[in-house]
């Protein structure tokens, strides 16, 4: 009788995760001497990456042959 342990990857690495930062920028627009600028917000390019999840499969085998 012997035991086999297999390591398996359950899910591939997720490279399209959420952004790590939220950025804000201000656009200054002056019209007729009045500042009518505004802020806008956007996500940064750097993203969180989820590591590969692993699973283990354990199998126990028994030989039914004679003498072995």
**27-66, pLDDT tens digit by residue?**
988 888 888 889 999 999 888 877 777 788 899 887 777 7
Question: 22 pLDDT band (50/70/90 cuts)?
Answer: very high
Cβ density class 30-53: b for 16+ within 10 Å, e for less: eeeeeeeeeeeeeeeeeeeeeeee
Q: What is the mean pLDDT of residues 15-29?
A: 88
Q: Answer whether 2's CB lies under 8 Å from 30's CB.
A: no
pLDDT at 26 over 80: yes
The domain segmentation of the chain, as residue ranges, is 2-61
> Is there a contact between 49 and 19 (Cβ–Cβ < 8 Å)?
no
């Amino acid at each position: 009788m012997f035991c086999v342990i297999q390591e398996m990857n359950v899910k591939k690495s997720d490279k399209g995760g959420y952004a790590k930062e939220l950025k804000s920028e201000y656009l200054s627009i002056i019209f007729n001497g009045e500042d009518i600028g505004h802020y806008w917000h956007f996500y940064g390019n750097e993203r969180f990456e989820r590591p590969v999840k692993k699973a283990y499969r354990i199998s126990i085998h028994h030989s039914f042959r004679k003498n072995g």
